[in-house]
Amino acid sequence: MRTQVGIVGGGPAGALLSHLLHLQGIESVVLELRNREEVETAVRAGVLEDATAELLRETGVGKRMDQKGAVHEGIELRFGGHGHRIDFADLTGGRKIVVYGQQEVVKDLYAARLSAGGKLIYEAAATGLQDLDTPQPKIRFRRGAKLDLDAGDIRFRDDTNEEEITCDFVVGADGFFGPCRSFIPDEVRKEHVRTYPFGWFGILVEGSPSTEELIYTLHERGFALVSTRSPEVQRLYFQCDPNDKVDNWPDERIWEEMQTRLATDDGWTLKEGRIFQKDLVQMRSFICEPMQHGRLFLAGDAAHIVPPTGAKGMNLAVSDVRVLVRGLIEFYSSGRTNLLESYSETCLRRVWKASRFSWWMTSMLHRFHDEDDFRYRLQLAELDYLASSRAASTSLAENYVGLPMEVITGVPAND
């Protein structure tokens, strides 16, 4: 098989890249390990920066988002039993976020790709990358793949053999656990890692929202977050032990914990409902430098992970793809490689800033139970400062709605 851009991974980064390339007349093939239903129903993050939402609209995949997503103009920070609103629209000149599930974004992208005749191969695992330092890199892959979660490896149906895609470029959009990153040689690859001493317990709940905007809470017992998915489905999280198990948390215990952490003195109540899904979210910061090697480019979680507190994960995947597409357009229209050469450098400036923001939100809003009270009191003081200072609130707001896109390095002055 031959294509222009071979993409490993059909999550938000891979699917968006394929869509944007198609709009420019550039052909791609996407390999996705899971089947379509698995990707479309996997519950992930749900906050889109305004530029992310705008990009989806501009490229014809924002219709359902505008119908079903919720535009939020602020968030609430809650601590000491009081809520304090951070008004994004006021602090950032009218910018907002859209709360719309990542799997819904992927669904919209798949629908667009499939109706345009796009080539998406599900249940296909990349088994190797070759010739990355030549103009004809190759992806080896095998169909009939299934991830065996218990064993932590991939099984294949017996009736499949290894196949090969010859491309001009290979994009590793295969997530944190995908194989592509390891094809950047050890001598040039530096991985920065920070783990946090807690995780998030997430639940999906049937029922109407308890709040119009997201609530981020710091309580003595730990962090809690009230988010939403739709007028009928609510998404709630609370800080838990990183090694906790879903089975340790029967519904009554979850509600008791959430009610305790979210209690206020202003009459607000958290609405309970039927919990129909429970999951554990890992908390990790990870950055791989560089994000490219020869004709291989990494995008999204394959290159970097942020803890979920700042809601940046999917937005970073989208900004990587934006930079990569510009580089590929430049290459296919002029043969120049300036933008592709500076891909990693351009992306990493934004990635580090978003990682800083996510680390900061995480550090401020969680209980570090093994540390003394001094740290906790500083966290409360920082929240108090945020709630009372327009300058501090503006810093949070401009990061949350999304910093401006990077100036792309390597663009000649007359471009």
Q: Which are the catalytic amino acids?
A: 72, 216, 308, 312, 400
Residue 233 engages ligand DHB in binding (rule: CB under 6 A): no
Residues 289-308, interacting with ligand DHB (CB under 6 A): 308
Q: Cβ 283 to ligand DHB, closest distance in Å?
A: 10
Look at residues 370, 402, 367 and name the one whose alpha carbon lies nearest to residue 79: 367
Tell me the torsion sign for CA atoms 61, 9, 286, 180. negative
Residue 45 engages ligand DHB in binding (rule: CB under 6 A): yes
Tell me the torsion sign for CA atoms 349, 324, 1, 132. negative
What burial class does residue 273 get, using C-beta atoms within 10 Å of its C-beta: 0-12 exposed, 13-18 middle, 19+ buried?
A: middle
Binding ligand DHB by CB under 6 A: which of 235, 261, 293, 322? Answer: 235
Q: Cβ 207 to ligand DHB, closest distance in Å?
A: 15
Residue 402 engages ligand DHB in binding (rule: CB under 6 A): no
Q: Residue 103 in contact with residue 64, Cβ under 8 Å? A: no
Q: What is the DSSP letter of 271?
A: P
Nearer to ligand DHB, 107 or 235 (CB): 235
What is the spatial distance between Cα 121 and Cα 33, in angstroms, rounded to a whole number? 8
Binding ligand DHB by CB under 6 A: which of 309, 315, 362, 379? Answer: 309
Which window, 41-49, 57-65, 86-94, 287-295, contacts ligand DHB (CB under 6 A)?
41-49
Nearer to ligand DHB, 47 or 240 (CB): 47
Residue 46 engages ligand DHB in binding (rule: CB under 6 A): yes
Alpha-carbon 285 to chain mean position: 12
Nearer to ligand DHB, 46 or 172 (CB): 46
Alpha-helical segments (H) within 24-142: 36-41, 50-58, 63-68, 88-91, 102-115
Q: Residue 273 in contact with residue 234, Cβ under 8 Å? A: yes
Q: Cβ 36 to ligand DHB, closest distance in Å?
A: 22
Which window, 18-26, 39-47, 165-173, 401-409, contacts ligand DHB (CB under 6 A)?
39-47
Nearer to ligand DHB, 76 or 123 (CB): 76
Q: Residue 53 in contact with residue 148, Cβ under 8 Å? A: no
Distances 383 to 48, 360, 389 between C-alpha atoms, Å: 24, 12, 10
Residue 214 engages ligand DHB in binding (rule: CB under 6 A): yes
Residue 92 engages ligand DHB in binding (rule: CB under 6 A): no
**Residue count, binding to ligand DHB (CB under 6 A):** 10
Q: Cβ 309 to ligand DHB, closest distance in Å?
A: 5
Q: Tokens representing 172?
A: 């590793």
Residues that bind ligand DHB (CB under 6 A): 45-47, 214, 225, 227, 235, 308-309, 311
